[in-house]
Amino acid sequence: MDGLAAIETGVRLRFCDGIRLGAGSYLDEGVYLHACPGGIRIGAGSYVMHHAELHVYNFRDLPQAGIQVGEQSLIGEFCVLRGQGGIRIGDRVYLATLVQLLAVDHVFADPDRPFVEQGITARGIVVEDDVWIGAGAVVTDGVRIGRGAVVAAGAVVTRDVAPHTVVGGVPARPLSDIRAEAARRALAGERAARSAAPIHHADGRVAPGAKPG
């Protein structure tokens, strides 16, 4: 793409003056970008795959509205991003197919009033660098996903996710700590290497079953 953004056929753009595409970014067939007040920014080298929808949805003119995607990130097929409360996606973030980031929600606390009369929340969503969100996952308003985290397919994320944590389920809960697991594997490898090392007797003989070093 030689530094230019590439746009396939069938892409729909609304409020184009609010859309910024970085060098080498790519919009696949059927993508829909609706940038009403707040705007959409796609970083350099990021891809938005076919039939994904990025909609700022800012009909209330909220100052925090907008969608920002960092560099070298991927928005998968049929993803939906609603940016009324603001969505900020970092670098090297992968959203698998059918992921939804919904930075807006209805208030329904009063049982005596229709929910449509109770207003909304629009606190925003932040996805830090190097996050992978699995197919069909949903991230709700007000959530921050820390750097290097992984969200399992089909999860519904309603609370913040710590960095380098794997979460899954409905609602999503922590399943493992990536750094702790890596440390355990490294320790197990060191122990295995020590146990496999040959044992030498004082007279130079190698213990039975051990391979000479």
- Show which residues are catalytic: 106
Structure tokens at 106: 């209805």
CA–CA distance from 140 to each of 17, 122, 174 (Å)? 28, 10, 16
Which alpha helices (DSSP H) does the chain contain, by range? 178-196
Distance between CA atoms of residues 112 and 99, nearest Å = 33
Q: Which two tokens stand for residue 180?
A: 């702790």
User: How far is residue 195's CA from residue 192's CA, in Å, rounded to a whole number?
Assistant: 5
CB 145 within 8 A of CB 128: yes
Take residue 18 and report the two structure tokens written for it.
């609010």
Q: Cα-Cα-Cα-Cα dihedral of 17, 83, 27, 45, to 10°?
A: 100
CA distance 164 to 91: 15
Strand ordering across the sheet containing 138-139: 12-14, 32-34, 53-55, 80-82, 100-102, 138-139, 156-157
